[in-house]
């Protein structure tokens, strides 16, 4: 199986409808979805989501519910684990016990999945990973669809390296959930891009991809280093960047000017902050993965060969570029 890269625009085509239709029911199902379904042709899919920690995650959930809808021939059993890894693994075991046709997982963290994935394989239930990856053997899942998190970190780091050049720069990092693929990869990608520059990482803590977490961690950074002791914030997602903005403003400083911010996601609120000059640069992370995930599930159940990794390409945005597209974006 080979790696496959798809343009973000292609991934959006089927998913744009969610802006008009909203979320589908978690369990209603009609129609014919092909092989692997029940006597009525309905395919039952268990989807183990991380939680609802961010605007990105909400858009991702809506995309998945729309793609795995009754109108498309699915019965979706949805579980959001509230960023509790044990609860998410328990949900997957429950899907196995229910005898679903397929399982889709957005793993909270990379490690700890070997046993339950083996249980799914033993039960003959194919697994598709969505958004995040796992450290388990790739023989235990059929395919993965998502974004290149390391490349996202590299693109954010390249902007920082170009912007600050040889200027001594004190940077703090708002990390994503500890042990998660995006947090690990966005950190390593960024670090590689700013290597040999004058950017110095003076502190780095997790804000768990949440706005409140980003605000709390940034408040701590400001108390420790002061406004004048921080030049740059690298946030692993927009929600944490938005929390950092609140903390910076509460400290009497101007985000985007006194302290510059680079972030990843490009959700609506983050893009608006970029347009307003409170964030300085954003790397996109497209959340609309539902159609691709559903297509992979059907292909696997039909016995077709599928790509092991399906990447959706991301864009980057300056303030001017964000202003041009913000009104037309579906998330």
Domains and CATH numbers, the chain: 3-147+286-314 (3.40.50.2300), 149-284 (3.40.50.2300)
**Phi-psi label, residue 140: left if phi above 0, alpha if psi -120 to 50, beta otherwise:** alpha
Alpha carbons 226 and 224: distance in angstroms, whole number: 6
SS3 state at 190: helix
- What local confidence, expressed as pLDDT, does residue 55 receive? 86
Q: Which two tokens stand for residue 321?
A: 């570029």
Comparing CA positions, the residue from 98, 75, 74, 87 lying closest to residue 48 is: 87
pTM: 0.84
Q: How far is CA 294 from CA 34, 72, 80, 130, in A?
A: 12, 9, 18, 10
Q: Cα angle at 318 between 317 and 320, to 5 degrees?
A: 115
CB 207 within 8 A of CB 178: no
CB 273 within 8 A of CB 119: no
- What local confidence, expressed as pLDDT, does residue 185 receive? 97
Alpha carbons 315 and 152: distance in angstroms, whole number: 9
Q: How far is CA 15 from CA 24, 63, 69, 135, in A?
A: 13, 6, 12, 29
Element (H, E) at 117: helix 114-122
Comparing CA positions, the residue from 24, 30, 22, 46 lying closest to residue 293 is: 46
**Phi-psi label, residue 82: left if phi above 0, alpha if psi -120 to 50, beta otherwise:** left
Q: How far is CA 239 from CA 182, 235, 302, 322, 326, in A?
A: 14, 9, 39, 17, 17
- What local confidence, expressed as pLDDT, does residue 313 receive? 86
- What local confidence, expressed as pLDDT, does residue 39 receive? 59
Alpha carbons 115 and 121: distance in angstroms, whole number: 10
Q: Over 290-327, what HEC string results?
A: HHHHHHHHHHHHCCCCCCCEEEECCCEECHHHHHHHHH
Alpha carbons 222 and 254: distance in angstroms, whole number: 13
Cα of first residue to Cα of last residue in the chain, in angstroms, is 32
Query: Per-residue pLDDT for the chain (331 aa), expressed as one digit of tens each?
Result: 333 344 333 333 343 333 322 333 333 333 344 456 655 789 999 999 999 988 899 999 999 999 999 999 999 999 999 999 999 999 999 999 999 999 999 999 999 999 999 999 999 999 999 999 999 999 999 999 999 999 999 999 999 999 998 999 999 999 999 999 999 999 999 999 999 999 999 999 999 999 999 999 999 999 999 999 999 999 999 999 999 999 999 999 999 999 999 999 999 999 999 999 999 999 999 999 999 999 999 999 999 999 999 999 899 999 999 999 999 988 8
Q: Which two tokens stand for residue 252?
A: 């009497």
DSSP category for residue 20: H
**To 10 degrees, the CA torsion angle through 241, 242, 248, 249?**
160
- What local confidence, expressed as pLDDT, does residue 330 receive? 86
Residues 6 or more apart from 274 whose CB is under 8 A from it? 280, 281, 282, 317, 318, 319, 322
Q: Cα angle at 79 between 53 and 330, to 5 degrees?
A: 55
């Amino acid at each position: 199986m080979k790696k496959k890269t798809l343009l973000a625009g292609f991934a959006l085509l089927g998913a744009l409808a969610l802006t008009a239709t909203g979320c589908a029911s978690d369990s209603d199902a009609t129609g014919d979805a092909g092989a692997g379904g029940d006597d009525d042709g309905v395919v039952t899919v268990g989807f183990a989501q991380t939680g609802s920690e961010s605007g990105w995650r909400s858009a991702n959930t809506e995309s998945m519910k729309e793609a795995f809808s009754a109108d498309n021939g699915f019965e979706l059993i949805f579980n959001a684990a509230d960023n509790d890894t044990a609860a998410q693994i328990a949900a997957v075991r429950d899907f196995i016990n229910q005898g679903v046709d397929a399982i889709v997982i957005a793993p909270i963290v990379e490690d700890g999945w070997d046993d339950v994935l083996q249980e799914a394989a033993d039960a003959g239930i194919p697994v598709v990973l969505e958004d995040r990856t796992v450290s388990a053997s790739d023989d235990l899942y059929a395919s993965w669809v998502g974004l290149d998190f390391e490349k996202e970190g590299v693109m954010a780091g390249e902007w920082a390296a170009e912007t600050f050049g040889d200027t001594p720069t004190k940077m703090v990092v708002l990390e994503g959930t500890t042990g998660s693929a995006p947090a690990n990869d966005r950190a390593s990608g960024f670090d590689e891009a700013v290597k040999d520059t004058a950017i110095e990482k003076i502190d780095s803590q997790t804000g768990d991809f949440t706005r409140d977490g980003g605000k709390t961690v940034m408040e701590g950074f400001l108390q420790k280093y002061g406004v004048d002791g921080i030049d740059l914030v690298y946030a692993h997602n927009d929600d944490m960047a938005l929390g950092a903005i609140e903390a910076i403003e509460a400290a009497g400083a101007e985000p985007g000017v006194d302290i510059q911010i680079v972030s990843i996601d490009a959700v609506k609120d983050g893009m608006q902050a970029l347009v307003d000059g409170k964030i300085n640069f954003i790397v996109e992370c497209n959340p609309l993965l539902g159609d691709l995930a559903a297509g992979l599930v059907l292909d696997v159940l039909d016995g077709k060969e599928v790509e092991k990794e399906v990447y959706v390409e991301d864009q980057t945005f300056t303030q001017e570029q964000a202003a041009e597209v913000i009104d037309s974006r579906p998330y």
